[in-house]
């Protein structure tokens, strides 16, 4: 590989506008760690009326995952934090995919070669592997010995003319590179003292991360780089590259890691951390945004329940600490219940939820649906209003526990008799009460009449409630693990949610023999 010399160096212009970027590698799909990095960039840009850019760093061609690039932007859009500039949306500073910007990296490498800040390296993979093994045997960290830095110009020209494979390495200086990070404060690393000169341009013409990120951040006029703290030490190399290219570096803010609750790293092998898996399970995007920000810092208080507009308003980059953020997925249901309830209580959002749930019910139960009335918006909205605070997703209402809301339950005479010897009398009395209509005026009236039925049928109130529950839901065992008092309240709320079911059950509970009975 030979690079033409004499390419002019592009000088940096001023950057009055806030421009940030999320720059994932499409070697996998977007997970919660990437979502948090993207979100913090989005919040920072929105607070300052800036621009949020999606740049895909696909220079590691061997590890690319088909469809990952499109999926990343799909998930950002689903999460409600779409980029302002991207390959899909366009912009003035594209292309937004690194493999389409190779000429810029070649120009930068040529500039560094011309000024003596970089050099060709001809060391074979075999030699580099021997250096690595020797360092490991002696208990040292592997590092390149900078051998090719000492080659004479004539030797370099001869090897290039002979077609010897080469890469371009950047000359690290030995001093400490200090800079002020918005999260970690003043920090510095003497990378040249502990590392060998890094490769910045590979033999296939593709750049490594170090060169590509610097070149792209410069040409895209990135003002602030918010990225994971795993790149904190590498920033010293990047600042040296900026200085060598005579460009002004952006301001850095390195975000602490997002870890599992036990302190282990999030891994792509964890199938449950990918956004698509949450979406498939019916988790709302605002739930995930709230969850990942609640796990860490960046806000004056750590309350839960923030929506995106509140996250934008309350975000404060000076409040981000250097401590790792611990993600507790056990709290997901709690967050989900809260945010779903807020959607249900919003009139417009509730309309959309009703339509979505209607389609889900039709798909799940299809021909089993007992009456067209259960697909009416008024009925579905009533179900949502009565179950809010108890369900964490619309899919919960499709479970067997809630099937009675959509499909007429069927129970046998044996099941009814197992609950009470007076089951038939109880069922008849309940239907008469429902047909009369007055009991549905209020919960107080309903409870009063149910107690009267208990008295007339010589049954305990508990027996009446068990029979009623079985008739309306075909369920005998309470699957909730709350206290008795809370369970009773929960059952009452469920029975209230089943009032409309009772209204369409006028033909139910006419028990004879051991045949199945519709509730």
| pLDDT tens profile 112-139 | 999 999 999 999 999 999 999 999 999 9
DSSP 278: H
* Percentages (nearest 5) of helix, strand, coil residues in the chain: 50, 10, 35
> 249-300, pLDDT tens digit by residue?
999 999 999 998 888 888 766 667 899 999 999 999 999 999 999 998 999 9
Collapsing DSSP to helix, strand or coil, 486 comes out as helix
Q: Across the chain, what does the average pLDDT equal? A: 88
Write out the catalytic residue numbers: 268
pLDDT over 80 (residue 15)? no
CA pair distance 111, 106, nearest whole angstrom: 9
First to last CA, the chain: 79
Helices marked H in 369-516: 377-387, 413-419, 423-436, 443-456, 461-473, 484-497, 499-503
pLDDT over 50 (residue 496)? no
Mean pLDDT to the nearest integer, 225-243: 96
**Can you read off the two tokens belonging to residue 316?**
């404060």
What are the C-alpha distances in Å from 437 to residues 358, 461, 465, 491, 501? 27, 21, 19, 21, 13
Mean pLDDT to the nearest integer, 314-330: 95
Task: Indicate the pLDDT class of residue 205, thresholds 50, 70 and 90.
Answer: very high
pLDDT over 80 (residue 494)? no
Provide the pLDDT for residue 18.
Answer: 97
Provide the pLDDT for residue 381.
Answer: 97
Provide the pLDDT for residue 322.
Answer: 95
pLDDT over 90 (residue 370)? no
DSSP 333: H
> 410-462, pLDDT tens digit by residue?
888 888 888 889 989 998 998 888 888 766 678 888 888 899 999 999 999 99
Identify each DSSP E strand in 238-351 by its residue range: 251-255, 258-260, 325-327
Q: Pick from 407, 345, 351: which is nearest to 374 by CA?
A: 407
Q: What percent of the chain lies above the pLDDT cut of 70? A: 87
Count other C-beta atoms under 10 Å from residue 16's C-beta. Answer: 7
Count other C-beta atoms under 10 Å from residue 71's C-beta. Answer: 18
Q: What percent of the chain lies above the pLDDT cut of 90? A: 72
pLDDT over 60 (residue 335)? yes
Helices marked H in 187-321: 191-194, 209-219, 234-245, 275-280, 285-294, 308-314
Provide the pLDDT for residue 42.
Answer: 98
Lowest-pLDDT range, 1-10, 157-166, 373-382? 1-10
Provide the pLDDT for residue 16.
Answer: 65
**Helix (H), strand (E) counts: the chain:** 20, 13
What are the C-alpha distances in Å from 431 to residues 138, 382, 387, 448? 86, 21, 24, 15
Helices 102-114 and 234-245: crossing angle, nearest 10°?
70
What are the C-alpha distances in Å from 466 to residues 421, 448, 451, 478, 488? 12, 16, 13, 10, 11
Q: Which of 310-318's residues contact partners 24+ apart within 8 Å by CB, and which partners?
A: 311/39, 311/43, 312/43, 312/46, 312/47, 315/40, 315/43, 315/44, 315/47, 317/40, 317/44, 317/182, 317/183, 317/226, 317/253, 318/182
Provide the pLDDT for residue 2.
Answer: 52
Are the C-beta atoms of residues 45 and 17 closer than 8 Å to each other?
A: no
CA pair distance 293, 220, nearest whole angstrom: 27
Provide the pLDDT for residue 123.
Answer: 97
Provide the pLDDT for residue 229.
Answer: 96
CA pair distance 250, 252, nearest whole angstrom: 6
Provide the pLDDT for residue 1.
Answer: 58
Task: Indicate the pLDDT class of residue 148, thresholds 50, 70 and 90.
Answer: very high
Q: What are 411's strand-pairing partners?
A: 517
CA pair distance 140, 147, nearest whole angstrom: 18
Tokens 């779903």 appear where?
340
């Amino acid at each position: 590989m030979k690079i033409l010399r004499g390419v002019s160096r592009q000088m940096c212009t001023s950057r009055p506008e806030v421009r940030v970027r999320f720059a994932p590698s499409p070697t996998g799909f977007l997970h919660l760690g990437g979502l948090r990095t993207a979100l913090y960039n989005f919040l920072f840009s929105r607070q300052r009326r800036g621009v949020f850019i999606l740049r895909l760093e696909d220079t590691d061609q061997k590890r690319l995952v088909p469809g990952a690039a499109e999926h990343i932007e799909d998930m950002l859009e689903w999460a409600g934090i779409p980029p302002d500039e991207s390959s899909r949306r366009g912009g003035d500073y594209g292309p937004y995919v690194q493999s389409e910007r190779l000429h810029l990296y070649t120009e930068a490498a040529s500039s560094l070669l011309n000024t003596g800040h970089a050099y060709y390296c001809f060391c074979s993979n075999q030699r580099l592997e021997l250096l690595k093994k020797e360092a490991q045997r002696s208990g040292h960290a592997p590092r390149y010995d900078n051998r090719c830095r000492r080659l004479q110009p004539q030797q370099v020209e001869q090897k290039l003319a002979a077609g010897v494979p080469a890469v371009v390495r950047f000359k690290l200086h030995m001093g400490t590179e200090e800079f002020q990070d918005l999260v970690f404060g003043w920090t510095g690393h003497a990378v040249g003292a502990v590392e060998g000169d890094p490769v910045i341009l590979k033999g296939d013409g593709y750049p490594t991360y170090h060169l590509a990120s610097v070149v792209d951040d410069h040409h895209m006029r990135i003002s602030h780089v918010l990225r994971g703290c795993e790149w904190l030490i590498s920033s010293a190399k990047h600042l040296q590259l900026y200085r060598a290219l005579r460009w002004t570096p952006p301001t850095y803010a390195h975000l602490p890691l997002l870890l599992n609750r036990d302190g282990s790293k999030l891994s792509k092998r964890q199938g449950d951390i990918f956004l698509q898996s949450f979406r498939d399970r019916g988790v709302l995007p605002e739930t995930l945004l709230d969850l990942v920000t609640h796990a860490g810092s960046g806000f004056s208080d750590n309350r839960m329940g923030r929506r995106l507009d509140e996250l934008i308003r309350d975000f404060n980059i000076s409040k981000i600490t250097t401590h790792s953020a611990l993600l507790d997925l056990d709290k997901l249901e709690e967050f989900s219940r809260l945010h779903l309830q807020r959607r249900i209580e919003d009139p417009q959002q509730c309309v959309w939820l009703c339509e979505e749930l209607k389609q889900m019910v039709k798909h799940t139960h299809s021909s089993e649906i007992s009456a067209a009335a259960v697909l009416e918006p008024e009925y579905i909205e009533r179900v949502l209003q009565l179950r809010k605070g108890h369900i964490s997703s619309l899919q919960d209402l499709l479970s067997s526990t809630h099937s009675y809301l959509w499909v007429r339950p069927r129970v046998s005479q044996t099941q009814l008799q197992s609950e009470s010897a007076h089951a038939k009398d109880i069922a008849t009395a309940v239907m008469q009460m429902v047909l009369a209509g007055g009991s549905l005026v209020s919960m107080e009236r309903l409870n009063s009449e149910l107690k009267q039925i208990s008295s007339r049928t010589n049954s305990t109130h508990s027996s009446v409630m068990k029979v009623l529950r079985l008739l309306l839901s075909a369920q005998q065992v309470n699957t909730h693990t709350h206290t008795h008092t809370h369970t009773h309240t929960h059952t009452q709320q469920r029975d209230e949610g089943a009032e409309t079911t009772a209204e369409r059950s006028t033909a139910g509970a006419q028990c004879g023999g051991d045949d199945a009975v519709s509730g």
